[in-house]
Amino acid sequence: MIGSEFLFSLSLWFIRALISSIICLILGYLGIRALSFITTEINEFESIKGDPMATSLFLGGFFIYAGLVIYGSMVNPFFLSQSVLLGPYFNTQRLLIVVLSVLVSFIFGSIFYYIFSKLRVFNVDLDDINKSPVSIGIFLFCYEIFLGLIVYASLSIPLG
């Protein structure tokens, strides 16, 4: 027989992980939308519409991102205790680290895009991505994994 104290603790853990996951998923959505500002020469979302392979790659990448976020949120949610007071209940340090990690991914994404598109360090033309919706889907897929790993790491960093 499962005790009510166990069920209460399990419910609190689930709610904390759910809220942390939702916050991180919203930040991820904003990070993916911000990609459009970085990659001005690539029309990501307009190009993948109507192409089943490109769309599935985009959604697959988002599922991987969501999986990393949910795992990180289950292990280390923003909420620390069972107190109803906001200060001890909500871990603002963890939230700040996650927000900063999304900003860092944006900055690094911008730097990488600049290196590949403007400096042409590897002599590759990023405009070639625009020639195929599948290529754009793969590009988005990889960015979502990149972002997911960064957010997961920020959820896993020990504080103090």
**What does the domain layout of the chain look like in residue ranges?**
4-156
| Residue-wise pLDDT tens digits, 97-155 | 889 999 988 898 888 888 887 777 778 777 788 889 999 999 999 999 999 999 999 88
pLDDT for residue 59: 92
pLDDT for residue 85: 47
pLDDT for residue 103: 92
Whole-prediction pTM:
0.80
44-69 core/surface letters (b: 16 or more CB in 10 A; e: else): beebbeebeebbebbeebbebbbebb
pLDDT for residue 80: 57
**pLDDT exceeding 70 applies to what percent of the chain?**
91
